[in-house]
Amino acid sequence: MSTASQEIQALTQQEYKYGFETPIEIEAFPPGLNEDIIREISARKHEPKFLLEWRLKAYRHWLTMKEPTWANVKYPPIDYQKIVYFAAPKGWKKGPKSIEEVDPELLRTYEKLGIPLHERERLAGVAVDAVFDSVSVATTLQEKLAELGIIFCSFSEAAEKHPELVERYLGSVVPYTDNFFAALNSAVFSDGSFCYVPKGVRCPVELSTYFRINARDTGQFERTLIIADEGAYVSYLEGCTAPIRDSNQLHAAVVELVAHDYATIKYSTVQNWYPGDKQGRGGIYNFVTKRGKCLGKYSKISWTQLETGSAITWKYPSCLLIGEGSVGEFYSVAVTNNHQQADTGTKMIHIGRNTRSTIVSKGISAGHGQNSYRGMVKILPGAENARNFSQCDSMLLGNQCGAHTFPYLEVKNPTARVEHEASVSRIGEDQIFYCRQRGLSTEDAVSMIVSGFTRQVIQELPMEFAVEAQRLLSVSLEGSVG
Amino acid sequence: MLEIKNLHAKAGDKLILRGVNLKVGAGEVHAIMGPNGSGKSTLAQVIAGRDLYEVTEGEVLFEGKNLLELAPEERAREGIFMAFQYPVEIPGVSNLYFLRTALNSVRKHRGLEEMDVMDFMALVRERVKLLGMNEALLERPVNEGFSGGEKKRNEILQLAVLEPRLAILDETDSGLDIDALKAVAAGINAMRSPERAMIVVTHYQRLLEYVEPDFVHVMADGRIVRSGDKQLARELERQGYAWLEEEAALAQENRA
């Protein structure tokens, strides 16, 4: 191996920064899953009756399903009876509360993660819902948003205060029958964020949820539901981290978005779950179903994701383009280093006339990482003049990693136009030497080359997070070319 | 400034440099000529620190420092610049950003403050004008989609902005039409100074019509076999390299 490769390899071996554990007393259910556990979760949250029934239906359906095996990932079988389905800081009580009532240990945790919840230190222009294990522990800026008629709260709070909205939209985009992990989530979901932006309102701040898994052997099953009514606009961002553990933990979330006429939802993810160690021990299994419904005419849903964490990522944020002239977008950067595996992409289902979609996927593999893009573009017979453009680029750092592309195209309307471009490149010793000859260190060279490769996607992130994303990207790759 | 003594280097198992000796002083322009495969590009790359090549014998001193102990970026920061024969593309990274990062890493090493954007832009605009370049290239990604001539001119722009002590131009004339060649030569001449040395590696005498060298060296079979002034370049142009190959063959027989 040349010295440049050795240096690059040293560079990508950085430690996970968010691996600390919060010393807080946790109240958790015993491991295992049955109808009593589900009843207990629902009772803890004082849920309306329809919700418990929906959970039980989902559970009974889940029992009839098999775990999917089509993804290009490998992992030992998961024992669903060994997972803890509910964990919360001791003494946690449901409902909104002022920051003063939140356990200072929790506030310190979020501070350490760079998400201060106190009024005076908060990020300007961002409202945060903080989800810790199975519960939401704080939501900021709620009153300010309420003045505009915007509802932004934990899912539990929404179920209690706005049951009509929850009942109308829950499962309307991702039914509990959709897939194995969505069914499991529907049965046991514990918390998540809920957002409703009323007619004609443009949400003036970024809404964000910060997910933190802390408790051992616990699964996190959150559910997020965002509705943008006619002409509304909302930009939402989620971030995720977890402590370093030897064992794998399951995170199976469901996100549903609904955009009515002329509404726009921009959904961004910066996913940095614990990826496991260099030998591939531990890490989060991130098995997530995300889907948006462009229900109304000229509505728009845009997904942007930066996936740097998790041992395994299995997710396909998708758009159902129903309304005439509606637009779906998917911008993704997925990084796999060490033994990480990612099978990610999107589905764009064109149903209405003149619908348009854009897919830009950038996969980066380093170490022994395996990175697959899997995307489907489906043009149904009614989708006159539908347009799709897809671009999938992969970059390999080193020669033990892999990049795979699985595009599926299904076009049933002759007026449709679908374009697909794909490329694979190896970060060249040539490129690195060129940069070094101009005075850049190997580390700066790699980070510059990677940031150039991903720029098209990163610039889609809200400005407040783009800088952080850039930094996270270079940290995830520190130590990785070889 | 630069002193190369008995330099041997190999790529894999193949010995390419077989004892190169060369002294380059400040203010001098040296041309290194020779047929394909004579080792002239390898020499340029070994001075710049390319790790495809392993130095097996000899030494290279730059301002009295042992160059072979330094990483490529350290050599660059010490003031060694190589214009690449095949400039590399870096998609998504703007030419300006790349240039500014490079300049600031060199300045930092020299104990200078980072140059702010305003001063930097003023400097770059001036140099772009000097080279008769199209300013639009600055905003484009490094070398991506550039024509051959644009790439070579971009190398000279980098040279003009980074202001190295020693500039090595590796076949900067290859693939250029006559107008581009003249423009590149004008840029190189503008950068000649009593403090700066240049090594011009070229196959043809063409570039040397416009960039007049103080010394001309001919390489064959991994060594400098003949040195002289610019007359030597003309001689080569007339005779070609065939006579050299005969000499080299003889030398090889003697070794065997």
Is the C-alpha dihedral spanning B214, B219, B223, B224 positive or negative?
Answer: negative
B105, B112, B144, B158, best to mutate vs chain A, most A CBs in 10 Å: B105
For B183-189, the CB contacts below 8 A with 24+ separation are B183/B131, B183/B132, B183/B149, B183/B153, B184/B149, B184/B152, B184/B153, B184/B156, B185/B210, B185/B211, B186/B131, B186/B132, B186/B210, B187/B130, B187/B131, B187/B153, B187/B156, B187/B157, B187/B159, B187/B160, B188/B156, B188/B159
Cβ contacts (< 8 Å) between B107 and chain A: which residues? none
- Beta-carbon contacts below 8 Å between A and B: 78
Q: Whole-angstrom Cα distance, residue B2 to residue B62?
A: 5
Distance, in Å, from the CA atom of B34 to the CA atom of B248, rounded to the nearest integer, reads: 12
In degrees, rounded to 5, the angle at the alpha carbon of residue A156 between the alpha carbons of residues A155 and A160 is: 115
Place of tokens 């800081």: A89
Contact B106 A434 (CB under 8 A): no
- Provide the shortest C-alpha distance from residue B233 to chain A (in Å): 29
Q: A452 vs B109: CB contact, 8 Å cut-off?
A: no
Q: Is B81 on the interface with A (CB under 8 A)?
A: yes
Instruction: Report the C-alpha dihedral over residues A70, A74, A79, A83, rounded to 10 degrees.
Output: -100
pLDDT at A3: 42
| CB atoms inside a 10 Å sphere around CB A28 | 17
The DSSP bridge partners found for residue B167 are B81, B198
pLDDT band at B106 (very low <50, low <70, confident <90, very high): very high
Answer whether A473's CB lies under 8 Å from A335's CB: yes
User: What ipTM was estimated for this complex?
Assistant: 0.94
Token digits for B121? 């832009």
Nearest CA in chain A to B158: A438
Q: Select the residue of A429, A441, A449 nearest B73 (Cβ to Cβ).
A: A441
Look up residue A101 and give its DSSP letter.
G
Q: Which residue of B has its CA nearest to A455?
A: B92
Whether B16 has its CB under 8 Å from any CB of chain A: the answer is: no
Nearest CA-CA distance, residue A400 and chain B, Å: 21
pLDDT 10s digits, B164-180: 999 999 999 888 888 88
Chain B positions touching A431 (Cβ under 8 A) are 88-90
Distance CA A57, CA A55 (A): 5
Instruction: Check if A4 contacts B (Cβ < 8 Å).
Output: yes
Could you tell me if A126 and A210 are in contact, meaning their C-beta atoms sit under 8 angstroms apart? no
Verify whether the Cβ–Cβ distance A438 to B158 is below 8 Å: yes
Both tokens assigned to A204: 């003036």
Rg of chain B (C-alpha set): 18
% pLDDT > 90, chain B: 66
CA dist., res. B184 & res. B154, Å (int) = 9
Residue A4: the pLDDT is 42
Partner residue opposite B105 with nearest CB, options A4, A439, A449: A439
DSSP string, B170-182: ESTTTT--HHHHH
Per-residue model confidence (pLDDT) at position A5:
47
Tell me whether residues A434 and B48 touch, CB distance under 8 A: no
Q: What is the pLDDT of residue A94?
A: 57
* Interface check A431 vs B, CB under 8 A: yes
Q: Check A454 against B84: CB less than 8 A apart.
A: no
Give me the residue from B48, B93, B101 closest to A437, CB to CB: B48
Beta carbons of B102 and A438 less than 8 Å apart:
yes
| Dihedral over Cα of A451, A457, A459, A464: its sign | negative
Asked if B109 lies within 8 A of A439 by C-beta distance, the reply is: yes
pLDDT attached to residue A121: 55
In chain A, what residues touch B89 (CB-CB under 8 Å)?
431
Q: How many Å lie between the alpha carbon of B203 and the closest alpha carbon of chain A?
A: 22
Select from B76, B91, B162 the Cβ nearest to the Cβ of A436.
B76
- Residue A8's pLDDT is 42
C-beta atoms of A439 and B90 within 8 A: no
Task: Determine the Cα–Cα distance for residues B219 and A119; give it in Å rounded to an integer.
Answer: 72
Taking CA atoms, B209 is separated from A80, A117, B232, B243, in Å, by: 79, 70, 12, 23
A172 touches chain B (CB under 8 A): no
Q: Are strands A126-132 and A135-139 parallel, antiparallel or unpaired?
A: antiparallel
> Strand pairing partners for A256?
A225, A291
Q: Are strands A264-271 and A233-241 parallel, antiparallel or unpaired?
A: parallel
Residues in chain A with CB shorter than 8 Å from the CB of B105 are 438-441, 444
Domain ranges of chain B: 2-255
Sequential pLDDT tens for chain A (482 residues)? 344 444 444 445 556 667 677 777 777 788 888 999 999 889 888 899 999 999 999 999 999 999 988 888 888 888 888 888 888 777 666 554 566 667 777 777 777 666 666 655 555 556 677 777 666 666 777 778 889 999 998 888 899 899 999 999 999 999 999 999 999 999 999 888 899 999 999 998 888 887 777 666 677 888 999 999 999 999 998 886 666 666 677 888 999 999 999 999 999 988 877 777 777 777 888 889 999 999 999 999 999 988 888 788 889 999 999 999 999 999 998 888 888 888 889 999 999 999 999 999 998 888 888 888 999 999 999 999 999 999 999 888 878 888 888 999 999 999 999 999 888 877 778 899 999 999 999 888 988 888 888 888 888 887 766 767 777 776 667 665 54
Which residue in B has a C-alpha nearest to residue A456's C-alpha? B92
Instruction: Mention every residue, 6+ apart, whose C-beta is less than 8 A from residue A334.
Output: A305, A307, A313, A342, A344, A361, A362, A363, A364, A371, A373
Is A114's Cβ below 8 Å from some Cβ in B?
A: no
Q: Is A421 on the interface with B (CB under 8 A)?
A: no
Which of A3, A428, A449 is nearest residue B51 as measured by Cβ atoms? A3
Mutate one of A438, A440, A456, A457 to test the B interface: name it (highest B CB count within 10 A).
A438
Select B2-255's CATH number: 2.60.120.560, 3.40.50.300, 1.10.260.40, 3.30.420.40: 3.40.50.300
Q: Hey, are the CB atoms on A440 and B88 less than 8 Å from each other?
A: no
User: Within an 8 Å CB–CB cutoff, is residue B112 touching chain A?
Assistant: no
Q: Are A243 and A20 in contact (CB under 8 A)?
A: yes
